[in-house]
Structure 1
């Protein structure tokens, strides 16, 4: 096998120009356009990537996205109707959402993967829908549990007598149940995405294992809690005398929540960068395309964390202006860490 070069030929300024339209649409739609905007960003990064001097190309796909769009639009419409008292109960919407999620994920994964080609060799995604549903059992279990618990949770949250301790214990219990299930779900979907993708009919062998993935998610959660969530909650309690902010007027409470969210983003930047770096190594190190290629990952985690943290702070300080440059710099660092060997 011989080593081949992997390079990125784009720039942050070009990505910023291409993302302006997506940003405006996302503002108008209140964030609902975020998945599409992220896919456009991923498409741009891939289209400016070369392997052994040959670019990654995008080709038309036969799969239609309208069924997925209709499902999302119907869910949003029903959710809005429920807010005005004319839609189905929220627990039914929760169950419907988790039941339709595997369909939406499969459609999105197939459209994204099937559109990629390199030197005439196309990627194809071939995961059976039944297997996607089997792999989605953590999400289905979590959704059903949340559907049953939602009325009681809503009633307790609306109660004026709810104490900070009750709120803290309830939130901690929900996080303790949801975090491992969501991590397991993420691993299952990522495994399907790789092991059911073919490069010119050559299968892909993914080296990541569930215990290592769950352990990383657990450690990331602990670090995030200790360095960001706990300090923000403590500061909020010291300044306003309450975790729930029930005594504050609605406008002031909204401002406090907004400021807390920005502070949480800033404090969590190192933890999020560390998690991103470790997941990149877990995902790509040891990946093999049978009879075609092998990938090793030599990412310097400490250097990447420093890069991403500073870029995250710059993005917050510039109100998002630096985001495109940050995305490109992170992508370049990840590409530089990959050692690709082909036959």
Structure 2
């Protein structure tokens, strides 16, 4: 018995696993610094009639990346602006062909739209390969490894209703102004397409997010997004409910002014009522975008990033709707008062709020990834499609 007690005392005590290390994200960009970059970019874009746009985008991305610090280490962007220019020209040509086809005939426009749908998922995939393949952290290149088939499957729920709507529009245009009014087949196609797009939009957004996040790679880490369609549909219903608030508020305000106008003389009351109606519609429009867009953006960021993880990484986003709503109102007000000159300051403030709401838990030491990468093969820069096209759609 004594020997058993001694053996039990000598047995190793299990230690609890160490808590994951938190990789904080900080954004150190300055509005005054970015204002200089933004103003020069804007001037060169105007002087070159838009041809400088990809070069301006490369400068903007480099600045934002250089001021995005993950665990104290900044991101880097290595994209070649000339390759981005080649991709920019390709997109301009595609949009020009589609626009020109619409001037020829509705049938040509419909065929051009089908061709655009056929190539767009491949270009979208190439865009993400280019952006991720030219992004590095601690000397490690990120990668995007989403499949081409996955890109087409992610686009399908939004493409099918859009094709139906474009077909309906083309059919309505071919009927001519003298066509019989009513619920024609063309109008039915538009209605069915619009309803289908609204119903399928949350599903489509879920597939987009899954495809994007599931393709993210760095070193040996393979990202996976756990995001259910039901949660996105619930977010859509909540967004619809939130969108009613600006309309109700504007309606109450209009009713008060109309009631006030009824107590005045007829001519003055009519002026007050019309002014109240115009002001109420404008207020509802502004509040709609000031409330709905920050609400959906904050909730979607939290859903997507808090559900993303890899073998050793755990992401968490705590972006507050109230913070984003207040910042959006401030940005809109100051941008309007300064005739647009506050826009770079607004971009910096928004980036800081959204980035610093995200934190990363890491079960490993990223320094080991760097050592393994130097001991093994060189990091990837994206496959040949993304590198050839040089497309960066800001995705």
Instruction: Flag whether TM exceeds 0.5 (same fold).
Output: yes
Which runs of structure 2 are paired with 1:223-234 in the superposition (5 Å)?
A: 223-224=242-243, 227=246
Offset, 1:47: 2.4
Q: Which residue of 2 aligns with 1:113?
A: 132
Q: Which residue of 1 aligns with 2:297?
A: 276
Offset, 1:71: 4.1
Any stretches of 5+ residues in structure 1 without a counterpart? 236-259
Offset, 1:189: 2.2
Query: Are the counterparts in 2 of residues 156 and 162 from structure 1 also a CA contact under 8 Å?
Result: no
Q: Which residue of 2 aligns with 1:294?
A: 314
Q: Distance in 2 between matches of 1:152 and 1:87?
A: 8
Offset, 1:174: 5.3
Q: Which of 18, 40, 49 matches 2:68?
A: 49
3-state SS in 2 of match to 1:5: strand
Higher Rg of the two aligned structures: 2
Which runs of structure 2 are paired with 1:52-91 in the superposition (5 Å)?
A: 52-60=71-79, 68-69=87-88, 71-82=90-101, 84-85=103-104, 89-91=108-110
Q: Which residue of 2 aligns with 1:314?
A: 334
Structure 1 window deviating more from structure 2 (308-317 vs 222-231): it is 222-231
TM-score by length of 1: 0.75
Q: How many residues align?
A: 315
Offset, 1:24: 4.9
Query: Are the counterparts in 1 of residues 242 and 291 from structure 2 also a CA contact under 8 Å?
Result: no
Q: Distance in 1 between matches of 2:243 and 2:48?
A: 30
- Deviation digits for residues 267-314 of structure 1 (CA, Å, limit 9, x no counterpart): 4212111111111111211422312x2222222222222222222233
Query: Are the counterparts in 2 of residues 229 and 264 from structure 1 also a CA contact under 8 Å?
Result: no
Q: Which residue of 1 aligns with 2:260?
A: none
Q: Distance in 2 between matches of 1:231 and 1:160?
A: 39
Q: Which residue of 2 aligns with 1:252?
A: none
Q: Distance in 1 between matches of 2:178 and 2:239?
A: 33
How large is the RMSD of aligned CA atoms in angstroms? 4.2
Q: Which residue of 2 aligns with 1:247?
A: none
Query: Are the counterparts in 2 of residues 180 and 218 from structure 1 also a CA contact under 8 Å?
Result: no
Q: Distance in 1 between matches of 2:233 and 2:63?
A: 31
3-state SS in 2 of match to 1:136: helix
Any stretches of 5+ residues in structure 2 without a counterpart? 1-19, 255-280, 365-395
- Deviation digits for residues 208-240 of structure 1 (CA, Å, limit 9, x no counterpart): 3222123323432454466369979xx9xxxxx
Structure 1 window deviating more from structure 2 (314-323 vs 147-156): it is 147-156
Query: Are the counterparts in 2 of residues 78 and 87 from structure 1 also a CA contact under 8 Å?
Result: no
Q: Distance in 2 between matches of 1:217 and 1:156?
A: 36
Query: Are the counterparts in 1 of residues 135 and 142 from structure 2 also a CA contact under 8 Å?
Result: yes
Query: Are the counterparts in 2 of residues 266 and 316 from structure 1 also a CA contact under 8 Å?
Result: no
Query: Are the counterparts in 1 of residues 299 and 321 from structure 2 also a CA contact under 8 Å?
Result: yes
Q: Which residue of 1 aligns with 2:228?
A: 209
